[in-house]
Structure 1
Amino acid sequence: MTMRTTRVGELLRAEIAELLLREVKDPRIGRGMVTITEVQVSPDLRRAVVYVSHLGTSEEREEALAGLRHSAPFLHRELVHRLSLRNVPELVFRFDPSIERGARLAELIQRVSAERRGEETVD
């Protein structure tokens, strides 16, 4: 990624997060906790893949993604008005499992640690 695509990605991430918090009223997005983890912008700045993480059930995650995809045209219009970019990229939402994976690894480490402490006290 070039410096420009990185800067545009960070700008989009901040603005989309603000719009989701204050402007988007879709109840599907409000269930669980939706976090924008990263925005990757194509080199020609025409497409932006918005990676989101969601804490909640898998059903809620699918509903949240559907809500985000449904809100994409509204978000694009708002970004056109808010940003001083010649072309605002088309938004594509994808699930980012990294936070869930990290939480699962932390849980496994904690469980193994607790088991080892239990074994040490038995000896």
Structure 2
Amino acid sequence: MAKRSFHDGPGPSQRQLRVGELVRRTLSDVLMRGDIHDPELQSMSITVGEVRVSPDLKVATVYVVPLGGKGQDVVVKLLARNAGELRRAVSKNLTLKFAPELRFRLDETFDKLDETRRLFSQDDVQRDLDDD
């Protein structure tokens, strides 16, 4: 499943990018420190790869992956279950009128990177690259 933009325009605004990065850093810190009161979530190491914010800044789609890739089926459910607490933690660091609703998705970027590396390591691809 490919990541999709919230609109068909030229891309996110500077404000969307700034808010997305602030939400990403804040969530990473909260998860790293174990500030959430869910023991299952505290026991996992989660990487927050990217946060995409809607143009109205009311929805933030958070792309995550568990460290080592294990527990992918569980991590999104755990985060969704704790979305309210995570939203409150994020809102403390934002200077926005409203804290964005957090929606969690599995970040498949790392899987695509592994597949790309595998393709580049094939003999026929290496041969074609060496011809250049």
- TM category (shorter chain) comes to 0.7 to 0.9
Match of residue 51, structure 2, among 39, 42, 52: 39
Residues 45-77 of structure 1 deviation map (CA, whole Å, 9 limit, x = unaligned) = 1101111134324xx101111111112110111
User: 1:76 and 2:87 equivalent?
Assistant: yes
Superposition CA RMSD, Å: 2.4
The structure number with the bigger radius of gyration is 1
Structure 2 residues not aligned, in runs of 5+: 1-11, 127-132
Q: How many residues align?
A: 112
The sequence identity of aligned pairs, in percent, is 32
Structure 1 residues not aligned, in runs of 5+: 117-123
2:65 aligned counterpart, secondary structure: strand
Q: Which has the higher helix share?
A: 1
Residues 10-67 of structure 1 deviation map (CA, whole Å, 9 limit, x = unaligned) = 1001001101111134425644x5311111111111101111134324xx10111111
Structure 1's consecutive aligned runs of 4 or more residues displaced over 3 angstroms after TM superposition are 28-31, 107-110
**Partners of 1:29 and 1:68 within 8 A in 2:** no
Find the aligned partners of 2:60 and 2:52 in 1 and give their Cα distance: 6
Counterpart of 2:112, as a letter, is: R
Match of residue 20, structure 2, among 6, 9, 16: 9
**Partners of 1:29 and 1:67 within 8 A in 2:** no
Between 77-86 and 10-19, report the one with greater CA deviation. 77-86
Counterpart of 1:43, as a letter, is: P
Q: TM-score, normalised by structure 2?
A: 0.72
**Partners of 1:65 and 1:93 within 8 A in 2:** yes
